[in-house]
Structure 1
Amino acid sequence: MSLTLIPIFKAEGFVRENTLGRWAHTLRKFGLTQISPGLSSTSYQAVVPLVDVDFDKEYYGIVTIGSPEQSFKMQFDTGSSRFVLSTMGCDQCSGDTHFDPSASSSFRPGSKEPWEIHYGDGSFASGIIGRDDVTLGNITVRQQSLNLVTNESTSFDDTVDGVMGLSFGRLSSSTTIFESMMAQKQVARGVFGFYFGKRSLNGGGEVVFGGLDMARVQPGHTITYTNVTHAQYWKVAFRNVIVYGRPLLAKSDEGRRSRMFPAVIDTGSTLLVVPEWIADQIHARIPGSRSFDVTWTVPCNLMTGQLEFDIEGKRFAVPSVDLVREQTNIQGLCYSAIQSSPAGFMIIGDVFLKNNYVVFDQENQRVGFAPALLDT
């Protein structure tokens, strides 16, 4: 099997959803409601370039489907498991390009039963099941199950044409695209790695299927692995959260840490969405932060200090500058990249991931982390 690079791109253009919209998107997905060059190994098989949509809000990669191939912008989402794609005939479906099953000679109908999903905020999507060939770089997955959207609420409108779920298939009683790669022996290892670029540093990024790209890791660092605790999502246990050098839990609380900081690693979320008590304590230690209606704000000029997560005794950082989102209607205050939810776990999105290289090891049910070597 030959080596293929599949980048992640940054799209030029406007994403309608701001910080509050991306927060709502994450809550909805989890059923929550609330007011490169230098590839270092031949063990992987495909590297997909990723595009960053409008200043680190959302990333997508190019995927082709069917015969002849139809090309789509897909979000690669470790927080879901279905392969969801907008279709022709759906008037208000997401994206610019919609899949036409009738134009593909390799398309096969799936279950005769329609599928649908509803959320507590009233949003929904529904459609039919089909199967077709999906190509990422030099890998072609034969007859992948597709959730084809024929109707959706306007709140689903987005830049991407679809979502490629990369959590565990048991989450939705389905087979993910990566599980299909493994079953069809298209990858040498049951591992994939994400690198997210920053718009401020020329953007871009990549996802590697079948291995990892150590050229994306800061020199002198190795991958730190921690086991998945609940193999539906990529859910792990962080040991602590450190804000400006001060941990939220003291050493005397060590026995409680695995219960206090469960975390889902979600490439399909933009922000850090955490339980309310964690959001309260983090912002209490950030100078100038304020509660603003049901959300949190921080000073727009927040430049020093950092937020860190303790994973297996090592710290992985998010600099303060990345905790600042867009301006509110109050002079000098911007929305915080850390927002709260009623869930008992943290949702670790792109705010963290664009500073750290992350490896999803499906074979061994673990997640690996290393400080990312960012483009300059």
Structure 2
Amino acid sequence: MTMGVLAVLAALSLLGAVHAEYHIVRHASLAPRSRDAAVLPAAEFTVPFSGKAPRRKSKKSALAALRGKSRAHGASDTVVVDGSAFDEEYLTNATIGGQHFSLIVDTGSSDTWVAQKGFNCFDIEGNPVSQDTCAFGTTGFNTAASKTFQPFPNVSFNITYGDGEFLSGPVGLDTVTIGGMSVDRQEIGIPTLTAWEGDGINTGLIGFAFPDLTSVFNTTDPTKASASNQIPYSPLFNSAVKQKKVKNPFFSIALDRGSFDAQANAPFDPNLGFIAFGGIAPVPVVDKAVTVPVEGYSLTTGAPTGGPDSDFFFYTVAVEAYTFGNVSVRPVGSPILDTGTTLNFMSTDVTAAFSAQFNPPAVFDEDFGLFVVDCNAKVPQFGVKIGGKTFTIDARDQIIPAGTDDEGNIICITGTQDGGPDEADNIFILGDVFLHNVVATFNPIDAEVTLTQRAKY
């Protein structure tokens, strides 16, 4: 692997999982062209997000803050998602080895993991602390109580997040069920050492990105995890496809925005959308859709690319233009579609120009490190042009409550924040602010994404 790729992946820590090193496997990526939207059938399994919870402090500090939910739906392959942590994390209910957990839904990472019963909790500096400091929603996964659990010996799960959160421990195989979709012998991390700033609801995470981003290593010593001993494996949905648990190789996510009041005050916000397997999520849409290839990452420059010599990690898509008011900006870097990041992170020039068009204008707060805006400001319409189609973002997603001042007044920030200069090897994100407005259907097998504009809600 090259240092260029390492540098890019280190920057991607904002999204979620970052390993000490990565093992590079070459793939033949698709040509960087869009096509007419794929015809998407109704989902086989539809799972409502169970709720939305406050995002982990680590991602809060990185300016990624709000997630989603799930609600029971008639179709067995569609799962409802909920929101927790003041609508900072989207959660869904899953069963592992017959035990029930609330797990974060994350398209910005690839591992499925759940804290093991009896785990040791640490703070970010690595000092041992009480278990309740990690704020998991349960006492953890009891491997002895699972009739289907099998240990995976002589390997370890080892993941470190950009803010210092880390998890490590054994690896196992077990049955993972989400909605009506059940995957046998799925490889999962069951960490026993956890530095986690939880929300009191989730006990782990389901990652839906690509296999090269998984975090299992051919060593039992976490300090020796490296590119040379990484063992990429099949993430949960990829396994479902291999086991023919779904007829179609794609999953679809519709994240509902929470109300302003819920974002400001509610530690848990149920029924905020769906994750659907094998078809499109069941929400009203309009006749605007496109299917585009996922961009891999160059082995030489570390930048997103549609070339044949690239690796897939995240759902990175080419944006043709950002439009707002009478401004149209063609970006250099390509953003990542990430359910695990609350905000949009765009280039400095785009963010500054957009912020200036609020009435009154949004202002960058040096102490807060964010663009702050009047909670009742008028929001300019924002469009994202992908594959020849412009997808619009509702004004309600562009003003987000982020705390209170000393007098108890709500402080608001813009939903689109500064992700750095517009350079090809920088990392930009279309997070929940964008994803609230589309149905995003991910095909990790063919490395494609279909975006469909949602009807107003």
Instruction: Please report how far the alpha carbon of residue 38 of structure 1 lies from its aligned counterpart in structure 2 after TM superposition.
Output: 9.5
* 1:329 aligned residue: 405
CA 23–319 in structure 1, closer or farther in 2 if over 3 Å, else same: farther
Equivalent-residue separation in structure 1 for 2:198 and 2:376 (angstroms): 32
- 1:196-345 to 2 correspondence within 5 Å? 196-200=255-259, 203-213=271-281, 215-219=282-286, 221-230=287-296, 231-249=312-330, 257=331, 260-287=332-359, 288-293=361-366, 294-326=369-401, 327=403, 329=405, 334-342=412-420, 344-345=426-427
Alignment RMSD (CA, Å)? 2.9
Bigger drift between 49-58 and 135-144 goes to 49-58
Asked whether the 8 Å contact 2:84–2:199 carries over to 1, the reply is no
Partner Cα distance (1:99, 1:315) in 2: 44
Q: Summarize the Cα distance change of 1:16–1:64 in structure 2 as closer, same or farther, 3 Å threshold.
A: closer
Q: What does 1:74-223 align with in structure 2 at a 5 Å threshold?
A: 74-90=103-119, 91=131, 92-97=133-138, 98-155=140-197, 159-172=201-214, 173-200=232-259, 203-213=271-281, 215-219=282-286, 221-223=287-289
Q: Alpha carbons of 1:174 and 1:310: their partners in 2 closer, same or farther (altered >3 Å)?
A: same
Residue 93 of structure 1 and its aligned partner are, at CA, apart by 3.9
Tell me, what secondary structure is at the counterpart of 1:6?
A: strand
Cα deviation per residue 1:284-335 (whole Å; 9 max; x = unaligned)?
A: 3333210101221122102443221111121111122211122553968512
Q: Which runs of 5+ in 1 are unaligned?
A: 28-35, 250-256
> By how many angstroms is 1:55 displaced?
4.8
Partner amino acid, structure 2, of 1:136: I
Partners of 2:244 and 2:394 in 1: CA distance: 40
Q: What CA distance in whole angstroms lies between the structure 1 residues aligned with 2:295 and 2:172? A: 32
With over 3 angstroms needed to count, the CA separation of the structure-2 counterparts of 1:274 and 1:23, relative to structure 1, is farther
Query: What's the % identity of the aligned pairs?
Result: 25
TM-score by length of 2: 0.69
**Which one is further off, 53-62 or 154-163?**
154-163
Contact 1:93 1:149 in 2 (8 A): no
Q: What are the superposed Cα offsets for residues 108-145 of structure 1, whole Å, 9 maximum, x if unpaired?
A: 11142333223454332212111111112222111101
Q: How far apart, CA to CA, are the structure 1 residues paired with 2:114 and 2:72?
A: 30
Q: Match for 2:447: what amino acid? A: Q
Unaligned runs of 5+ in 2: 1-42, 66-70, 120-130, 215-231, 261-269, 297-311
Counting matched residue pairs gives: 346
- 2:429 corresponds to 1:351: no
Q: 1:58 to 1:37 in 2, by over 3 A?
A: closer
Q: Once the 2 structures are TM-superposed, how far is the Cα of residue 263 of structure 1 from its aligned partner? A: 1.1
Displacement of 1:104 in angstroms is 0.5
| 109-118 vs 222-231, greater mean Cα deviation | 109-118
Letter matched to residue 450 of structure 2: G
Alignment of 1:25-36 (within 5 A): 26=64
Q: Name the amino acid aligned to 1:365.
A: A
Contact (CA 8 Å) 1:55, 1:198: kept in 2 or not? no
